[in-house]
Amino acid sequence: MAGEINEGSVPAYYREVYEAVRCRTDERVQVEVFQRLLQRTDLSKAVLGQIAEHVDSTDGFLSKLSLYKALALIALAQQGKQPSPKLLENCIQELPKPQLGEPKDLNALRMQPAQEDALMMSHTLDKLLLRDAVQVELIPEKKGLFLKHVEYQVTSQRYKISVYRRYSDFDVFHEVLLQRFAYRVVPALPPKRMLKGVLTSVSEREFIEGRRRALGRFINLVARHPFFSEDELVRTFLTFNGSDVQTKLRDAYKKTGDEFMTNRIATQAKEYLPTDIQAQFSTSRELIRNIHNSFHKLRDRAEKMAERSKENATDLLMFGRELSTLGSDASPLPSLASSQSTWGTLRQSLKSLSVEFAVLSDKASQQGRREEDDVVEKLNLFLDLLQSYRDLCERHEKGVLHEHQRALHKYGMMKRQMMSATVQPKEQASVEQLESRIVQQENAIQTMELRNYFSLFCLHQETQLIFTYLPITSHILGAFVNSQVQGHREMGEVWNELHPKLGCLFGGNNGLKPTL
């Protein structure tokens, strides 16, 4: 338009209105927000239409200067004048003030969905579980009788590829992932524990199998995380087939840096946080701590039940073997027992029963494995996530908040030194140097404050992730009930087959209750 508005000459009120209604992520104003602003003016529809005609918009947005022009036109219309750009030329040096109320009250006009979308996570557990399913299988390599090292075959369903990784590869991956996503839930790795013996003892086998399971839980939680799963680090770990994956991972991290440097809203995180964020965080943390404790107890009980099933399998097998041993005894009966006793016939029949008890033992063993694989593992997966959330909370408090407090303390000391230098004459060079250090420290504090808000922002999202995972409780209960139903049905079938056999072998009821 003629008489273009100069940004430097607009009234302070214009700037305050702009700051109240502009997008949080860029310098434009959404058309929908502008329309809401027009509705507050109480001007007629015809006049509002005239104003809208003179205001340019692109792709659903107004520029800052377009908004300033609109505010001036609104002010003219409120004064009873024609809202035309031509009339605006006469007051370009002193733009009229529109009557729109307090700028702070205009915040509510801003479009909320974009703000909420940035902070709120819309994922469901089913969607997260569908992101990937990663298998981690053990490939032990031996050199003679001694264990050389343990290697794992890692197969991603998403990428349709298998790669080979050692524990040290997982270790480096975990290290760079924690550096890249310091403000999110990064699950811990199981302990390394160097193996000194050969892979024959039960304890070593159990440890290696436990570590394989834990690595599987770790990589699945990572591969299904809403933010990790799309990151270059995860893709590299799951797909890179080169000789040095550790160097590749470190190089990938160096190229990107941590999430604060790459997240588009990291420096504006404060604007997205609810005013009661600390209260929400405290409440959620306490609730999650209680959930964590309960799931620990559930896991311990499930482990005991799985262990009892295995012990039951051993006891049934040994019970059958003892019956077989008893039946295999060919010692002649003494003359005083031979005439009336049926022991000789009975004894011969006992040998065949060991087969049924071996089958029962196998069924009990399968039951234990189901409880371990389907129930205990799911409980451990959720516990790993809950523990990583607890670790994240501690990192937030001991890391970002602690560093912020230290920086503020250092800044206070510098300011006191500066005041002292002002009172007591010192060399100009040393004063300037101190001023320079104070400016640097102010910049550092500002960055730390931004990081602190971003840390809270991420913590809010990770808290949502924990609640998104809570329905896994139904998965666990379903697996538990199914394992019990299947186990009892299969064992019941064998017991029922054994029941008539006992009647045929020994005759009469012999203590057996008739079947219904």
Phi and psi torsions of 156, nearest 5° = -95, 125
Distance CA 62, CA 57 (A): 5
Over residues 105-119, the pLDDT tens digits come to 888 777 544 444 678
Per-residue confidence at 506, pLDDT binned at 50, 70, 90?
low
Evaluate if residue 100 carries a pLDDT over 80.
yes
Which pLDDT score is estimated for 252? 92
pTM: 0.69
Which pLDDT score is estimated for 28? 84
Beta bridge partners of 151: 139, 166
Token code pair at residue 408: 């503020």
Of residues 5 and 326, more confidently modeled: 326
Which pLDDT score is estimated for 452? 87
Per-residue confidence at 307, pLDDT binned at 50, 70, 90?
very high
- Give SS3 for 242: coil
Distance CA 434, CA 438 (A): 6
* Pairing assessment for the beta strands 146-156 and 134-143 based on DSSP bridges: antiparallel
Query: If residue 98 lies in a helix (H) or strand (E), which one and from where to where?
Result: none
Cβ proximity of 1 and 69 under 8 Å: yes
Evaluate if residue 411 carries a pLDDT over 50.
no
Query: If residue 321 lies in a helix (H) or strand (E), which one and from where to where?
Result: helix 277-328
3-state helix, strand, coil in the chain (%, to 5): 70, 5, 25
| Domains of the chain as residue ranges with CATH | 12-106 (1.10.238.10), 125-262 (3.30.1520.10), 300-331+343-504 (1.20.1270.60)
Per-residue confidence at 249, pLDDT binned at 50, 70, 90?
very high
Distance CA 266, CA 259 (A): 8
Token code pair at residue 154: 């890692």
Burial of residue 460, with CB atoms counted within 10 A of its CB: 0-12 exposed, 13-18 middle, 19 or more buried:
buried
Which pLDDT score is estimated for 278? 87
Percent of the chain at pLDDT exceeding 70 = 80
Query: Which of 69-83, 127-141, 335-349, 426-440 shows the lowest mean pLDDT across its residues?
Result: 426-440
Distance CA 13, CA 218 (A): 54
* Mean pLDDT on 422-441: 57
Per-residue confidence at 35, pLDDT binned at 50, 70, 90?
confident
Of residues 283 and 337, more confidently modeled: 283
Which pLDDT score is estimated for 465? 96
Half-sphere exposure of 345 (CA within 13 A, CB side): 9
Which pLDDT score is estimated for 114? 43
Evaluate if residue 360 carries a pLDDT over 80.
yes
Which pLDDT score is estimated for 401? 56
**306 contacts: CB under 8 Å, gap ≥ 6:** 368, 371, 372, 375, 376
* Mean pLDDT on 70-91: 86
Over residues 457-475, the pLDDT tens digits come to 999 999 999 999 999 999 9
Per-residue confidence at 2, pLDDT binned at 50, 70, 90?
very low
* Mean pLDDT on 440-454: 73
Which pLDDT score is estimated for 1? 41
Of residues 230 and 509, more confidently modeled: 230
Evaluate if residue 267 carries a pLDDT over 90.
no
Token code pair at residue 40: 């507050």
Over residues 379-396, the pLDDT tens digits come to 999 999 999 999 999 888
Per-residue confidence at 260, pLDDT binned at 50, 70, 90?
confident
Per-residue confidence at 298, pLDDT binned at 50, 70, 90?
very high
Per-residue confidence at 334, pLDDT binned at 50, 70, 90?
confident
Which pLDDT score is estimated for 513? 63
Of residues 407 and 138, more confidently modeled: 138
* Mean pLDDT on 264-270: 86
